[in-house]
Structure 1
Amino acid sequence: MGSSSSAVPEVPWFQSTLKEIIESLTNLVLKFMESFCLLSSVCGMVGNGLVLWYLGFRIRRNHFTVYILNLAAADFGYLLCIAVETVQYLMQFNVGVQFGIFLFLDLFMYGTGLYLLTAISVERCLSVLSPIWCRTHRPKRLSAVVSGLLWALSLLLNTLGYVLCTVRPSPRVCQRLLISIGALDFLVCAPLMLFFSLTLFLRVKCSSQPFQTGRLFTVIMLTILLFLIFAVPLSVLILLDFLGHKFLYSPEIGFVLSCVNSTLNPVIYFLVGSYRDRKFRLTLRLAFQRAFQDSADDRDERETTGELRGTGEGSSHLALSYPLCRYFRTLF
């Protein structure tokens, strides 16, 4: 009797110790993720700030760089909100702003970036499939108008979410609205982006005539690829969360990955623009200028510098030997 009664307190002691260990590990992982996100946000704000400066004041813009300029603004705003939230969490410092406002701003900037990249992929694909029609019928300020409308759409959706979920909470309506926004992001915009990007890639690589795509094509393809890898999971995790499927660290992982995506975009612009003759060189301004050149501008520059020689008829005929390319040519 004495031995059995003395063994009883060991069970709650073990359970409480295990619970403390799990809580400590959870807090440690969260602090590591938040610290990494803060460092990434600071670096990303510097990079996107430089893109805003050069595209806004130092480099001649075309209709695609208008989208890139707006994308850099959305990335900068997203990273700024993440940085402020992270500092508030790590230092236990209340800046006097509700968490709901930060979440509203995060999702507003994130949604704007998603819609802008969808518009970029659609317009770039159409400009390659029907270049003459786009050149003659495209309104001059279409990029600015579309960008403004996409900012307004994202603001409207997220303002409704903030009002219905925070200011005047209506749980049922809030859940339906957030599920609808998540479905729009993941089930509409992401597939559209993937479809038009894949169509553009196959049209360029499977053409019987060599395309002079320029560095802008590479920038767009890499930017969309990284967005699909790093940023789209946030939409998936948020949608699953509101559908009742919760995973360990799921919101935090989504925000960290999306933060990495916004940080990497300026790095892509610089690396693509500065890569020349298998070396990375040129100043920051020239690298950005070359990265955002369209195919015609890029071809003119390569012809003047003697880089354009023996363009890819062989590669085009090689591409046509693949069954996927032969099938794709029957569609277009």
Structure 2
Amino acid sequence: MNYTLPSLPSLNAGEEYNGTYNETVLSNNSRSENDSGLTLGQYIWHTSLFLISIFGLWGNGTVMWLLAFCLKRTPFTTYILNLSVADFGLLTVVFISRICLVSDFLTYLADEMLVLIFLFVYTTGQFLLTAISIDRCVAVHFPLWHRCHRPPNMSTTVCASIWGLSFISPAICFTLFLADFDVYIIEIIQFIANGFLCLPLMTISTLILFVKVCFKSHQRKRGKLLIIVLLALFFFIIFSFPINALFITVYILDSNPPSFFQYAFFYAYLNSCINPLIYFLVGRQKRGRPRRNMKAILQNAFKEEENLQEAVDAPVETQL
């Protein structure tokens, strides 16, 4: 199979608008033959990604700051904080790649570094959402254990383990790249493995939580927290399916769909921006009530977890 990954097709996706796909590295991206440099379509594409990146960086940066320094830390917000860091890192890669492409400053080494960082943070975000979905399913089906017997630092340990495991594959790829080996196939396999491992678990967890929320009346009291998880999982499944299907098509079916690259990675970028919007929409007050700032909105969105944790700790301390 003659295939070269153009800097993760994601970073080069959307460069072609005439139904053909240019299989070259980022440093040789297609330019118009006139003196204007980028075509109108390419300018629109770059501008769209700039706007998405800026919006996502602002949203995830705000969530990171508030959860890290302004709000009480809980096991659930620990997951959310790490997820925001992963999304912030992915959008930073997108932002830098756009600047480098427009300025024609992206070298082959810098291209590969951006690819590996993208792989690192995208894999981390996918694993974190999988851990969040499993954690919520355990909380719903085994509430007593989850409230009273779960190790207090379990969320921190899980997040640290996920960051460490996600770093292994990019580190191996970078080492092989320096040794002048072709690492594109390893990157493709990593995306396929992520899809086969995470998507089924997240899909099953989403269905379980959806059934609990919609058909079990006593679960509706925890509405906001579970709604946040359900929406985050739903959008990730929808937006991640194209990128996993893309690499399965490229590697297993030996096919290279031209225009599917830009849509698959555009959805991946968009997914990294959507979680702060979910927190805002779910956590905001109803109409007729005074407006709140982002800190109060996040408190309202995650307060059920905090109140639940306080209610659990009180009887345990009484028994002691």
Counterpart pick for 2:90 among 57, 66, 78: 78
**Cα distance in 2 for residues equivalent to 1:33 and 1:133:** 49
| Corresponding position: 1:258 with 2:233 | no
Q: 1:227: Cα distance to partner?
A: 1.0
Preserved contact between residue 234 and residue 258 of structure 1 (Cα < 8 Å)? yes
Counterpart pick for 1:148 among 148, 160, 165: 160
Structure 1 residues 95 and 221, CA gap change in structure 2 (3 angstroms) = same
Q: 1:277: Cα distance to partner?
A: 4.7
Counterpart pick for 1:167 among 172, 178, 183: 178
Q: 1:230: Cα distance to partner?
A: 1.8
**Cα distance in 1 for residues equivalent to 2:109 and 2:121:** 18
**Cα distance in 2 for residues equivalent to 1:185 and 1:129:** 26
Q: How many residues align?
A: 277
Structure 1 residues 241 and 279, CA gap change in structure 2 (3 angstroms) = farther
Q: 1:232: Cα distance to partner?
A: 3.6
Structure 1 residues 278 and 117, CA gap change in structure 2 (3 angstroms) = farther
Q: 1:208: Cα distance to partner?
A: 5.9
Per the alignment, residue 269 of structure 1 pairs with 279
What are the superposed Cα offsets for residues 67-117 of structure 1, whole Å, 9 maximum, x if unpaired?
000000001111011100011112223479520000000111111000000
Q: TM-score, normalised by structure 1?
A: 0.75
Structure 2 unaligned regions, length at least 5 = 1-19, 21-29, 311-320
Counterpart pick for 1:59 among 58, 71, 88: 71
Question: Which segment is superposed worse, 151-160 or 62-71?
Answer: 151-160
Q: 1:206: Cα distance to partner?
A: 2.1
Structure 1 residues 129 and 280, CA gap change in structure 2 (3 angstroms) = farther
Counterpart amino acid of 2:304?
Answer: D
Preserved contact between residue 209 and residue 230 of structure 2 (Cα < 8 Å)? no
Preserved contact between residue 274 and residue 280 of structure 1 (Cα < 8 Å)? no
Structure 1 residues 83 and 182, CA gap change in structure 2 (3 angstroms) = same
**Cα distance in 2 for residues equivalent to 1:240 and 1:34:** 26
Per the alignment, residue 217 of structure 1 pairs with 226
| Corresponding position: 1:285 with 2:295 | yes
Per the alignment, residue 327 of structure 1 pairs with none
Structure 1 unaligned regions, length at least 5 = 1-18, 301-332
Q: 1:226: Cα distance to partner?
A: 1.2
Query: Which structure has the larger Rg?
Result: 1
Per the alignment, residue 47 of structure 2 pairs with 35
**Cα distance in 1 for residues equivalent to 2:288 and 2:229:** 20
Residue 109 of structure 1 aligns to a residue whose secondary structure is helix
What are the superposed Cα offsets for residues 211-250 of structure 1, whole Å, 9 maximum, x if unpaired?
4113111111111111112234223323423342211133
**Cα distance in 2 for residues equivalent to 1:117 and 1:278:** 34
Preserved contact between residue 213 and residue 223 of structure 2 (Cα < 8 Å)? no
Counterpart pick for 1:246 among 250, 253, 256: 256
Preserved contact between residue 32 and residue 39 of structure 2 (Cα < 8 Å)? yes
Preserved contact between residue 215 and residue 291 of structure 1 (Cα < 8 Å)? yes
Per the alignment, residue 178 of structure 1 pairs with 187
Q: 1:156: Cα distance to partner?
A: 0.5
Q: Which has the higher contact order (CA 8 A, sep 6+)?
A: 2
Residue 303 of structure 2 aligns to a residue whose secondary structure is coil
Preserved contact between residue 178 and residue 242 of structure 1 (Cα < 8 Å)? no
Preserved contact between residue 119 and residue 187 of structure 2 (Cα < 8 Å)? no
Question: Which segment is superposed worse, 235-244 or 104-113?
Answer: 235-244
Preserved contact between residue 231 and residue 278 of structure 2 (Cα < 8 Å)? yes
Deviation >6 Å, runs of 4+: none
Q: TM-score, normalised by structure 2?
A: 0.78
Structure 1 residues 40 and 124, CA gap change in structure 2 (3 angstroms) = same
Counterpart amino acid of 2:277?
Answer: V
Question: Which segment is superposed worse, 117-126 or 92-101?
Answer: 92-101
Preserved contact between residue 51 and residue 69 of structure 1 (Cα < 8 Å)? yes
Structure 1 residues 30 and 289, CA gap change in structure 2 (3 angstroms) = same
Counterpart amino acid of 2:238?
Answer: I
How does 1:117-136 map onto structure 2 within 5 Å? 117-136=129-148
**Cα distance in 2 for residues equivalent to 1:151 and 1:195:** 23
Structure 1 residues 280 and 96, CA gap change in structure 2 (3 angstroms) = farther
Structure 1 residues 232 and 113, CA gap change in structure 2 (3 angstroms) = farther
Residue 152 of structure 2 aligns to a residue whose secondary structure is coil
